Amino acid sequence: MEQQTLALHAGYEKEAQGTMAVPLYMTTAYDFGSADFAASSFNLQQGTDHVYTRVGNPTTAILERRFATIEGGSAALAISSGMGAIFYAVLNIAGAGDNIIVASKLYGGTITLFTQTLKRLGIEARFYDVHNPDEITPLIDEHTKGIFFETISNPSIDVPDIEAIVAIANAHGILTIVDNTVATPFLCQPLLLGVDVVVHSASKYTTGQGLAIGGLMVERNDLVAKILENPRYPFFNEPETSYHGLVFANCPASAVLFTFRARMILLRDTGAVLSPFNAWLFIQGLETMSLRMRQHSDSALKVAQFLEKHPRIQKVNYPLLSSDRSYKNASKYLTKGASGLVSFEVESFEVAKKILDGVKLFSIVANIGDSKSIINHSASTTHQQLSPQELENAGISAGLIRLSIGLEDTQDLIEDLTQALS
């Protein structure tokens, strides 16, 4: 079945409740009914969506099943934010003394997670140039647990060669984790390209309306084959003391062991659970997500083409412009569109600020993926604390403006930019 059909139907048995809309179960806990059933639930013999909402909830479970199906994966775990999803994906495989190889161009929060917080926990980040996967192999050692990158990086808008990275990872039996927030499963399905785990900030395109913070983690079909007896992954292959010596790779849920372990260990112990209400909002958003992604992508390409011809603009970044550094990879991996992020450079900090104050339809907001268009000047906001040299290393010039193209009429957006640039 096509993704758009799955986005409306997967993961919910309508017949049981008879409601067209997915029910919202706001509840903390569940009545076990009998002492035996209660005991077997805690023994991991029963499903996980009727124990306690920290580890599972029936509404959240529908979101998880639906999102996993749309991504082409076998299971998903909902988490309270995109950052939470990234943190759990790393903690599920790595501990003190381990390292993760990460792309040089990433979301700002992800960079500080790797360079500050994970570092304090003893997990080292080793950076490679996002456009040069050849740099990965020399960074690998026996403590390397994962390779992390973004399908379309935010805010730099780079598209890596996904299959080249997967080939290197597979040659060494290392897991790949990809942040697919900007592309969404409707523009790119990394799991079908061999990526092992996908993470998302659902806070962006999933509702599309900037309504709620949330995250998701999805695992590839048959990931167990890569983990089973792989000495890099003792968490899954050695007895788990907190469950009387259970080995995740051998347990009944081993078909979805990455998700299962993250739920039963990380959610249980650190508790970054998604609210069922937010899960319900994301389910509403998924119904229209593929239609919205098509429109975001069409409009963003038209805006990029307009900006490229504008005499006051020095450079435009959009992966599907033939002049773009990511064009080759984007033409291969983003055949349905390249999402809504466009950035461009004007001559100076002052000119950039005038454009921000001149637009009427775009809002000045530090977010992306809203159906309302957003404009942002990195050097004066999100990257204000960086020195000129650090700005240059991050690829952010003083005159760089980033747009998140929303769902307004494309011509109205172009007219607004035209008047602000005049």
Ligand X SMILES: *Cc1c(COP(=O)(O)O)cnc(C)c1O
Nearer Cβ to ligand X (57/201): 201
Give the nearest distance from C-beta 107 to ligand X in angstroms: 4
Nearer Cβ to ligand X (204/232): 204
- Which parts of this chain interact with ligand X (CB under 6 A)? 81-83, 107, 109-110, 150, 154, 179, 181-182, 201, 203-204, 213, 215, 368
Nearer Cβ to ligand X (98/179): 179
Give the nearest distance from C-beta 10 to ligand X in angstroms: 23
Nearer Cβ to ligand X (150/219): 150
Nearer Cβ to ligand X (175/182): 182
Give the nearest distance from C-beta 368 to ligand X in angstroms: 6
Give the nearest distance from C-beta 182 to ligand X in angstroms: 6
Give the nearest distance from C-beta 318 to ligand X in angstroms: 17
Nearer Cβ to ligand X (107/236): 107
The region that residue 401 occupies, defined by phi over 0 for left and psi between -120 and 50 for alpha, beta otherwise, is beta
Nearer Cβ to ligand X (151/288): 151
Give the nearest distance from C-beta 194 to ligand X in angstroms: 21
Residue nearest to ligand X (CB): 82
Give the nearest distance from C-beta 155 to ligand X in angstroms: 8
